[in-house]
Amino acid sequence: MKSSKTRQDLIAALNTAMREASGQGVLYSQAVAQRLGINSTDLECLDHIALRGPLTAGALAAATGLTSGAITGVIDRLERAGFAARERDANDRRKVLVRALPAIEKKIAPLFEPMQKAAIASLSSYSDKELALLLDFLQRARDASLAAMAELGSLPA
């Protein structure tokens, strides 16, 4: 049986679903950040640090699309909250890296368990091939988001 939806309809429906999923993710992140006494941007930056290991401020700015000035403020706040620390790079003492502290495992990880369980449950019915397709799509969507953020930054205020 052929689907009655056109390619354009499917793309529009996917775009709407992505917006809804992204919005729910933002709201969930905001709720977690509020419980931790930090803002959601700081929490998302901390996740980048936790996922990628110690990062320079420049690498964190590139990964998030935020300005270097904004990143400095993020790192300052994460340090004050006890979630991250600056340290000199052992291989290049001129570089400063930001690393996540063990407090994230104790305080933050449990707050994301409901979301992680829900995500795993929603992915469990897909085949390995479908999962690979979803992963490719999400990686492309992330890259497109970074490009869109750069474009937004170049628009007049």
Place 153 in a pLDDT band, splitting at 50, 70 and 90: confident
Other beta carbons less than 10 A from residue 33's beta carbon: 19
Q: Order across the sheet with 96-100: list the strands.
A: 55-56, 96-100, 84-88
User: What was the pLDDT predicted at 2?
Assistant: 59
State yes or no: pLDDT of 149 exceeds 90. no
Greater model confidence, 156 or 3: 156
Dmax (CA) of the chain: 64
Amino acid at 50: A
Give a yes or no: residue 40 inside a domain: yes
Q: How many structural domains are present in the chain?
A: 1
**107 Cβ contact partners less than 8 Å away, ≥ 6 residues apart:** 36, 83
3-state secondary structure of 56: strand
- How much is the pTM? 0.84
Give a yes or no: residue 142 inside a domain: no
Say which CATH number the domain at 102 has: 1.10.10.10
The CA-atom distances, in angstroms, between 16 and each of 9, 12, 23, 47, 143 are: 11, 6, 10, 25, 18
Give a yes or no: residue 53 inside a domain: yes
Give a yes or no: residue 34 inside a domain: yes
**42 Cβ contact partners less than 8 Å away, ≥ 6 residues apart:** 33, 74, 77, 78, 81
Give a yes or no: residue 131 inside a domain: no
User: What was the pLDDT predicted at 3?
Assistant: 63
User: What was the pLDDT predicted at 4?
Assistant: 76
Give a yes or no: residue 138 inside a domain: no
User: What was the pLDDT predicted at 1?
Assistant: 52
Of 30-34, 70-74, 86-90, the poorest mean pLDDT is in 86-90
> What would the pLDDT profile of 29-50 be if each residue is shown by its tens digit?
999 999 999 999 999 999 999 9
User: What was the pLDDT predicted at 46?
Assistant: 97
In terms of residue numbers, what domain contains 89? 7-125
User: What was the pLDDT predicted at 77?
Assistant: 97
- Average pLDDT taken over every residue of the chain: 94
Place 65 in a pLDDT band, splitting at 50, 70 and 90: confident
Give a yes or no: residue 22 inside a domain: yes
User: What was the pLDDT predicted at 34?
Assistant: 97
State yes or no: pLDDT of 5 exceeds 90. no
**Taking residues 121-141, what's their average pLDDT?**
97
Q: Which helix (H) or strand (E) holds 88?
A: strand 84-88
Q: How far apart are CA 46 and CA 63, in angstroms?
A: 11
